[in-house]
Structure 1
């Protein structure tokens, strides 16, 4: 443990629940001898969840081709659009060399490009996983296949405490041979949350990680968490008079305001969408996913009655339409 870790009143380092794939609250326990009677205190997770949902802009989602369209285009894989494949030095190199997805688009004819972006022959590249007795199986065939396809969120994704922490038993005390791995990695949780459905390299990925970090670390020991305090903390930029940001009215956010909303989990999700389809069609899909997400959290014992939508560009149009659709379903 580092010198910054605080001890609880029994002299033990406190640990926290994390979130698993599927939305479960999870806590790793390492068994000890019966003679070890040391007691550890664990803070139970909050009973309320307010998911934060990010909807990207146009062409910010990963799409894949149908098998029929892949065959017609004689493509070695079914990638229709992967913005991460076009980003960074690697993507630029592939375009220049005529390799990879970027190279394919560089050499493709107008007809081929039109066939790739056919709304009836494309779909979002979702993260699918294997279940074992209703729980996530990290080593199941469907999980492992999806992990290979969703490497835009790398396996080495840095844990983001508390929800996306490394909740595994230490090496030497790992899963029993032949048994499914019990806990998901931070990358697998991120992929389940939809982070790999959207462009992850650059601003989107940075925003998702920063939001996850700050919204789930608001208070520590009755005070603002260090990530919010000081000149380098978020408070330096957001706890100011709204006029600083061009606002015409309103009061600055205070420490008491933040403390009022701290007793809640704010898991950050992303939802990709098929941007070549009609927004009306896509909005129905997003509305169903939002309702399904809320239902899933309720089934796992949380109070979940609302979501926070964060959008970019075309995602804002979908948010408005999805809300109208959800309201219509309640009438």
Structure 2
């Protein structure tokens, strides 16, 4: 850092309504010989777009009535769903009658002033605040912290930005055929040649991810149009959570969108799917999520059966055989043998089938026909059409912790049926099924993962990636920043996300 002389005064930039920097030069007498130091700042933009996971976007119905929001502490405003029955849930959570809602709570809407459009204009209100509110705020601060460098110049301090703190730090990133390439000082310095406005692409997670990918293409065009004349290049960076990664990949690899994307960071993406989707269909879901989509099979199964998006998280052919096991006495059957669609998803006869048509009181044959069309035309085509396809600039982090047991495979075990003890609080009853005069309980393998996606479903072959990081993140909170407000350190997942962005932009030519 160059020290200022006595007659030099630093003039910090301001931004006009178009987001362009300018300097207000102070008036001074000529004989004072003052020199205005106007530090050059980045003015070229590389937009970053965040894609939430399943249930991560606020939804409303056609009458603009809120359907799915979680703005209050710990999502307590979602607890109103506890009183809703299976039929009402199915009607409210209908992909044909719901739409994206941009009316969610936003941290510090005008934080960036006129440098960028407001956070609301950048789609932040579509993201579920409970899951993403703080994370988006922290991520934007990390991507837009050039003011720290200006403050150092103005005050003569040496405060390090998050990017500078990462220089030389080993995060444990795996890279094909070479050791981890830590961030270097020239790479970090080059990243400050650009501005990174953070946008959010909320999508209707009940609908097919292929439909959401089409809308993503429209949204990317809209975002690029916002920065006409300010773009460093006609490309965006995508950061995805869970199912959002499938939306991004489908747009990039199956819809010709690759040319509009500089690179993608995927967090806990179910690359090959996860047996957890089968488990949810048969058992319901826990916690706040379960309160909305259903705490048991009777409430949840009818919702998922009409929703292509969540069904596209089922294991595809590439996941491999044998992830569903039935223990009957000393005999163990393993399914699928080769085709999960015909053997499990479209199986109407075996008691361990995926879908029990008519479970909520509808006409079984009518509901089965609808479900069959969704699996055949939307789920299978999407999953198999996306297999083994990735953007050439792909970076991923995935859960690989034994402390986050996940469903690498599932087992229906023969059990003696035991009723719950009266008066004992139980948050989730085991799922039992009566078959052939016996009782079976669905249990999990408890394999390493993120609590939802096992390592087998989330890890991608290294030769297809720029970088990969195994972490101990929780699936839902994968982008939690860490307890930094209490003086803690930034989470390794957030560090990796910033690391990946810096590595991507080193290939972007410096602005003039």
- TM-score norm. by structure 1 comes to 0.61
More strand by proportion, 1 or 2? Answer: 2
Rounded Cα–Cα distance in structure 1 between residues aligned with 2:160 and 2:194: 17
Deviation (angstroms), 1:15: 2.9
Across the aligned residues of Structure 1 and Structure 2, the Cα RMSD in angstroms comes to 3.9
Structure 1 residues not aligned, in runs of 5+: 1-5, 68-76, 95-100, 127-148, 166-182
Scaled by the length of structure 2, the TM-score of the pair is 0.41
State yes or no: 1:252 paired with 2:182: yes
Which one of the candidate residues 51, 59, 65 is aligned to 2:61? 65
Instruction: Name the residue aligned to 1:170.
Output: none
C-alpha distance in 1 between matches for 2:29 and 2:110? 30
1-structure distance, mates of 2:130, 2:16? 23
- Candidates 46, 71, 79, aligned match of 2:66: 79
Instruction: Report the Cα offset of residue 268 of structure 1.
Output: 1.0
Q: 1:200 aligns with which of 121, 129, 136?
A: 129
Consecutive unaligned residues of structure 2, counting only runs of 5 or more, are 260-512
Structure 2 partner of 1:107? 83
Change (3 A) 1:301 1:308: closer
Q: Structure 1 64/36 Cα, relative in aligned 2: closer, same or farther at 3 Å?
A: farther
Aligned residues: 247
What is the aligned partner in structure 1 of residue 237 from structure 2? 308
Aligned to 2:220: 290
Q: State the partner residue of 1:270.
A: 200
Please name the residue that 2:99 is paired with.
Answer: 123
3-state SS of the aligned residue for 1:54? Answer: strand
Contact 2:170 2:182 in 1 (8 A): yes
Conserved? CA contact 2:213–2:247, under 8 Å:
yes
1:228-243 matches, within 5 Å, as 228=161, 233=162, 235-237=164-166, 239-241=168-170
Distance in 2 (CA, whole Å) between partners of 1:316 and 1:286 is 12
Contact 1:63 1:82 in 2 (8 A): yes
The within-5 A match list for 1:23-62 is 24-25=18-19, 46-62=42-58
Structure number with greater CO (CA < 8 Å, separation at least 6) is: 1
Q: Residue by residue, what CA displacement relative to the aligned partner does 1:254-292 show, whole Å, maximum 9, x if unpaired? A: 111111221111111111110000111111001110122
Matches of 2:123 and 2:210 in 1, distance apart?
21
Which of 106, 127, 137 is the aligned partner of 1:153?
Answer: 106
For 1:209 and 1:11, how far apart are their aligned partners in 2? 35
- Counterpart CA distance in 1 for 2:16 and 2:97 is 35
